Each structure stands twice: as C-alpha cells, then as structure tokens.
Amino acid sequence: MRKNNIILIGSILAVITILCCAYSYTSFCEQPITTADSKIPCDNIFILEPFIVYEDAYNEQNLHAVDINVKSMIDSETSIFAMDVLSKSGFKPLGIGAITSEQKTAIENTYNVLQNKSEELVRQWKDKGSFLKDFEIINNTCKADALLVQFVKVKVGSPGGWDFMFTGNVIPDSSTTSIKAAILDLKTGKTYWSNSSIERTIPNNNSVVKRLLNTLYSKFPGYTKKEAGK
Amino acid sequence: MNINKYFLFGMVLLCVSIISLSGCAGVQKMPIKLDPNFNAKGIDTIVLMQIVDRRIDKKANIDLEKEIRIPTKKILEKKGYTVVMPDTFGEGMNVSANDVGEMGVEDLATLGPKDSKVLLFIYLEDVSESYIVLAYTFKIEATGSLIHKQEKIELWRDKGIGACGQGGLISGVFSGVDRAAAIEGCRDSMLVTLPKVAKAEQRPGKSDLGNISSQSRQTMPADVVKPAI
C-alpha cells in the first residue's frame, strides 16, 4: 500500500515536471502585424540575410559570437527557415545565393546598407521613405515585389543556477535571443507583415533557433494574388 | 609547536577575512551613457513619462505605475529632482506606447509637455515569471533614457536587471517577497548612475553619481563617456 502511494506521488511529480519544463521552454511572440485582409499581395519576396547583434545584457556592450561560445546556428538557419515558410505559403522567395553574379554586383552596396539598417527597417514607427531609392534598386535588379528583413538580438547575461545545498535560491538565466522580422513593399515601403519572438537563452543549439523561428512564423499569412490596377 | 599552529591558523583566518572584505568592496557601476556636461545643464526638474512596455512576451503581469513609475519618482526625488508625471506622451498627440518604444532620440524629444526640458523614459524590456515544479523564478529587465528636449540628445542611459527565485515547498509563499525585491533591485541598479541634482557651485564642473551600489557587477564599456566623480 505504502509502496503504491510512493509510486503514485512519484508519477504525479514526474508529470508535473514534464509539463512545467515544456512550458518553460516555450518561446513567445507578439500578435503579428498584418495587412487588413491578413494576406500579402506579393509574388516575389527578396530575403535579406539576418542582421545579428550580440550584446552584454547588463551594459549593451557589443560582443562577438565567438566570445560567448555560440555556434551561430542562427545566421545559417534563419534564412533557410524563412525560405521554406515563404515557399510553403505560395510565395517565390529569392535569396542572395540565388541571383546571378551581375545582379549581385549591382545590388552589393544597397544590400549591405539595407542589411545594416535592419533594426530600423523592422520598426513600425519608422517611416521607410528614406529607403525607397534602395528598395527601387532591389526591385529593378532582382524583379522582387517585397523584402523580408530579419533582425536578431542576442543579449548575453549571467547563466542561471540553483543553490540546492543551502539557500534553495534559483536564479533564472538573464540571457535572451529575440528576432524581429518584417515584409516590406519595395515600391511604397509599406509593412505587409511583421512579428517578433523571444527565447530566454542564448542560441547555442539548433533547437533554440528552431523554437524561435517556429514561433515567429506560427501565424504567417498566406499568399494572395495582387489584383490588377492595385 | 602549539603556538606556531595557532599563529598559522590566525594568519589563514586573517587572509580569508581580507579576501572576503575586498570582495565586499564591489565595483562601481558606470552608466551606459552619461553626457560629460550633465551638471552644466542645470537640470532640477525631470518629466517622468509613462512606462513604455516594449516586451515581446507580455504574459507576466506587472503594474507599471505602482511597481515602476511611482517608486522611480521617489528615487528621483531623493536625488533632489522635482518630478512631473504627465498622463500622456504628448499634448494633443496620438502616440501609443508601442510607437514610443520604437522611436529614436529625435522623435522622443518631440514628446512631453512643451515647456519641459528633460524627459525620462523607462522601457520595460522583459519580464519572465515561472513556476517549475516547486521552484519559482522571476526576472525583470528595464532601460532608462534621459532626453534633453531642446538639444535633442540623450543625456543619460542605463539599465538594470533584477532576478530572484526560490526552490522548495516554501517558494509559493515567499514568491511575492522575492518578486518585489527583484523589481526594486532592477530599478535601483538602473537609476543608481543617474547623477543627483548638481549644487550651484558644481554645475560647470564635476558630476555626482550619487549612491553607488556595492552589488554592481558592471564594468565600463570602452566607448562610454566616463563621468568625473
């Protein structure tokens, strides 16, 4: 009888542990911003490689990925993931690797300018008027209607810990990895879609990056054919 | 022989004490940014704007007024400032907290009462609260930015992170206490580097960093303007 009780209590605790751990490793996102009809009226979307910033969570000092021992899965995975999401949603995604060397040369400077300004481009408040000339170059050279911009910020804080021997204090990890992405119309600068997601850890393995991106694109709108004259 | 043993024991104890005390001395926290002419600006009134919640995950509940804005006002008053707390971001302006969270210095300077000189924006960057099995953890991260409205520059900027957690059966009972301490730690750590109101004779010269927390672990970034203390 007593043995059965112990097994029962043990099982309940194990279930609670599994549920709580699953909850604690869930990434979070805002409600995505989309156009009124929740569809993106574009065919070809040019993907900018993500701009990644690593900084100290306590003083905003810039860090390098190597210094914090991040395998940097995030830079390689993010665009591949985006390409897959866009394809499955019916768009024609276009990455820097898929264009001709002539096109690459023609947009090289513009590409670098836009990638470096990713943080501004993903903001809703920021008027995109000053970028329209750069957008035009991408539009004309790559025959793209829209641009996918991705901005990643990795804040490196102190790792969490648990002093189980004495005080029982549990300190949560103060690191975070957040990603903001937006799809902008290359003719008007209008934001068709925008979203962000956060993970409370550094992206030191593939599963963290996958969770982050799954959450980011979890409510991604479908494709809609642009009506003639619009 | 016995005397030697006692002497050795005493010496070891002395060394341990010295090492422990030197650890307690701590490192002085430096702000992320502080204008070298801060005192010369003669700032004695601060407009404390509404707290800007720019969290991505807004699941954790927090009372922005009661837990952050009002205690911040008290800290500023202790530093000698007169604090004004407007109800909106701008007179007659239709600006949301989300908009403010994305604004740069130039846009921020257009906000606040027209006759004001400096505006303090507090950004809530992240709050996480979780109960994992029998453990409770809480983390809060906030950034403060003081903007000179006429000059359209950032005079001071710093941030704070407060965290706590308790494992074991008592965690649920004491979680409220821990949470309050973490929020206070975040607020204090962020505002400790904001200079006190400069005395008249100080204004063209030295800056006063106020009470420097001995718990601070931050170091000075290479590109930060170092204030004269």
Q: Is the pLDDT of residue B149 over 60?
A: yes
Q: Is the pLDDT of residue B205 over 60?
A: no
Q: How does the average pLDDT of chain B come out, rounded?
A: 80
Q: Is the pLDDT of residue B122 over 60?
A: yes
- CA torsion sign for B188, B191, B194, B198 is negative
> Across the interface, which of B30, B102, B135 has its CB nearest the CB of A124?
B102
Q: Given an 8 Å threshold on Cβ–Cβ distance, is A162 in contact with B168?
A: no
Q: Is the pLDDT of residue B172 over 70?
A: no
Name which residue leads in pLDDT, B200 or B82.
B82
Which pLDDT score is estimated for B128? 92
Most confident of A63-77, B9-23, B156-170: B156-170
> Across the interface, which of A16, A61, A123 has its CB nearest the CB of B133?
A16
C-beta separation of B122 from B161 below 8 A: no
Dihedral angle over CA of A103, A107, A108, A114, nearest 10:
-140
- CA torsion sign for A194, A200, A202, A205 is negative
Give tens-digit pLDDT for B132-144.
667 788 999 999 9
Name every chain B residue with its beta carbon within 8 A of the beta carbon of A160.
137, 165
Which pLDDT score is estimated for B135? 76
Least Cα separation, residue B104 to chain A (angstroms) = 9
Q: Which residues of chain A have pLDDT under 50?
A: 18-26, 35-37, 227-230
C-beta separation of B32 from B159 below 8 A: yes
Least Cα separation, residue B33 to chain A (angstroms) = 10
Instruction: Name every residue whose Cβ is closer than 8 Å to that of residue B226 and which is 6 or more positions away in sequence.
Output: B30, B220
Spell out the alpha helix ranges (H) of chain A. 2-24, 73-88, 101-116, 118-121, 132-142, 206-216
The 8-class DSSP code of residue B54 comes to -
The H or E element spanning position B188 is helix B171-191
Lowest mean pLDDT among A88-102, B72-86, B149-163: A88-102
Name every chain B residue with its beta carbon within 8 A of the beta carbon of A30.
56, 58
Which pLDDT score is estimated for B206? 46
Q: Given an 8 Å threshold on Cβ–Cβ distance, is A29 in contact with B130?
A: no
Which pLDDT score is estimated for B121? 98
Neighbours of A129 (CB within 10 A): 9
Q: Work out the percent of chain B whose per-residue pLDDT is above 70.
A: 73
Q: How confident is the model at residue B211 (pLDDT cuts 50, 70, 90)?
A: very low
Q: Report d(CA B85, CA A212) in Å as an integer.
A: 37
Q: Given an 8 Å threshold on Cβ–Cβ distance, is B137 in contact with A172?
A: yes
Q: Report d(CA A103, CA A98) in Å as an integer.
A: 10
Name every chain A residue with its beta carbon within 8 A of the beta carbon of B133.
13, 16-17, 20
User: What's the whole-number mean pLDDT along residues B121-132?
Assistant: 91
Name every chain A residue with its beta carbon within 8 A of the beta carbon of B98.
124-125
Q: Is the pLDDT of residue B217 over 70?
A: no
What is the model's pTM?
Answer: 0.79
| DSSP line for A59-89 | T--B--TTTTT---HHHHHHHHHHHHHHHHT
Least Cα separation, residue A143 to chain B (angstroms) = 31
Q: Residues B182-214, buried b or exposed e (16+ Cβ, 10 A)? A: bbbbbbbbbbbbbbbbbeeeebeeebbbbeebe
Which pLDDT score is estimated for A42? 84
Neighbours of A90 (CB within 10 A): 13
Contact residues, chain A to chain B, C-beta under 8 Å: 13, 16-17, 20-21, 23-24, 28-30, 56-61, 123-126, 157, 160, 162, 164, 168-172, 174, 176, 178, 196-198, 200
Which pLDDT score is estimated for B225? 37
Residue of chain A whose alpha carbon sits nearest to that of B160? A58
Least Cα separation, residue A140 to chain B (angstroms) = 30
